[in-house]
Chain A
């Protein structure tokens, strides 16, 4: 998830994202009056593939290291010699010991300490999601235009020309002003 700072970039990328997959892309808006905050999000619910592949490799590596550790522990505390009832218990104890070593920092016995230091695979999951946050009233006006763009794209179709929409808005605005002038 990326917070985009430039409004124009946000608009361009969100329209691109929508046109790439009109069926699964959605445009969300969250408004909090008490905090005076507005957040816009455009997402297609898909993970970016390259990052996902790398995270999968890391996940499997982590699994392998845990398995190796388990096997090592098995040598130290052989399960074959245990009775069936205690086998389960022994396995649970070894898993707990591994988790303690992995999760907690190294404390007393340096010989028993093996750190499995790898980045969390979930940190590398990147969702194709564009976000924009603001607390400015001027951005609400810009959002209105984006709303109109999305209404047209979603109701009529992804092939609608955006310049038509923005052009139409200007046309609608101008005659309204002229009308007020003539009435006066």
Chain B
């Protein structure tokens, strides 16, 4: 796959998460990059030109590698879609069980006379 535009990258990332549900990991890395070689960046700094930096996002599942870049203007739109994607796929993490356990413990101790805390939706 390699280098993609932001939207196809998000689609590929979705399928990567889905493929690795039963087995495997997904790594996502963010890095600031000018997307130019070291030689070019050195030349630009010496000549005093402004270097345009972008946020490089790479993702892999051990087998397939994909990447994309996001600039200062479009990063907010990307971060919103990325956030929804993660929320949808990171479902295996444990929900807050401590409050439920505490409730059960309090209920046992005080024989049902405890104050019930409202559940956060």
| Tally of A-B Cβ pairs under 8 angstroms | 107
Q: Check if B29 sits within 8 Å of A135, measured CB to CB.
A: no
Does B121 count as interface, using CB distance less than 8 angstroms? Answer: no
How far, in Å, is B9 (CB) from chain A's closest CB?
14
Docked complex: A139-156 residues within 8 A CB-CB of B: 139-140, 143-144, 147-148, 150-156
Chain A contact residues: helix, strand, loop or mixed = mixed
Q: Please pick, from B53, B55, B93, B96, the residue contacting A38 in the complex, using a CB distance under 8 A.
A: B93
Q: Check if B21 sits within 8 Å of A34, measured CB to CB.
A: yes
- Give Cα A126–Cα B26 distance, bound, in whole angstroms: 26
Across-interface contacts of A183 in B (CB, < 8 A): none
- Give Cα A33–Cα B24 distance, bound, in whole angstroms: 8
Across-interface contacts of B53 in A (CB, < 8 A): 154-155, 157
Across-interface contacts of A30 in B (CB, < 8 A): 25-27
Select the residue from B27, B54, B92 with max chain A CB neighbours within 10 A. B92
Q: Which residues of B come within 8 Å of A, CB atoms?
A: 17, 20-32, 53-55, 70-72, 75-76, 78-79, 82-83, 86-87, 89-96
Query: Given A33-B92, A140-B87, A155-B70, list of 8 further CB < 8 A pairs?
Result: A27-B30, A29-B27, A38-B90, A148-B83, A154-B31, A154-B53, A155-B75, A157-B72
A-B residue pairs in contact (CB < 8 Å), sample of 5 = A34-B21, A134-B93, A140-B86, A154-B53, A157-B53
Q: Which residues of A come within 8 Å of B, CB atoms?
A: 22-23, 25-36, 38, 134-140, 143-144, 147-148, 150-158
